[in-house]
């Protein structure tokens, strides 16, 4: 899934354990309740993504854009901040 375009994708509850999402566009994606344990989100864009209840243990965040639009607040917070 490296470099995938998943804009506004509904990934609620998805098992993405260890997934390579480096460079993926996850803008507006719904990842609520998803298991992202060990996922590689290097350079991924999660602007406005919903991470509520997502499992985020051992995620690699290097260069990722968080739901808030911040690229320097790691690990990313579960929900966008206004």
CB atoms within 10 A of CB 18: 12
Query: Is 81's pLDDT higher than 70?
Result: no
Q: How far apart are CA 62 and CA 12, in angstroms?
A: 23
Average pLDDT over residues 50-77: 84
How far apart are the C-alpha atoms of 8 and 29, rounded to whole Å?
A: 4
Average pLDDT over residues 24-31: 97
Q: Residue 16 in contact with residue 39, Cβ under 8 Å? A: yes
0.95 surpassed by pTM: no
Up-side HSE of residue 17: CA atoms within 13 Å toward CB?
Answer: 1
Q: What is the end-to-end Cα distance of the chain in Å, rounded?
A: 29
For residues 40-48, give the mean pLDDT. Answer: 94
- Cα 24 off chain centre by: 9
């Amino acid at each position: 899934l490296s470099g995938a375009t998943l804009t506004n994708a509904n990934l609620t509850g998805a098992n993405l354990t260890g997934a390579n999402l480096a460079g993926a566009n996850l803008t507006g994606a719904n990842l609520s309740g998803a298991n992202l344990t060990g996922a590689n989100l290097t350079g991924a864009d999660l602007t406005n993504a919903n991470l509520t209840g997502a499992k985020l243990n051992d995620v690699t965040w290097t260069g990722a854009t968080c739901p808030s639009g911040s690229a320097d607040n790691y690990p990313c917070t579960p929900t966008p901040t206004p």
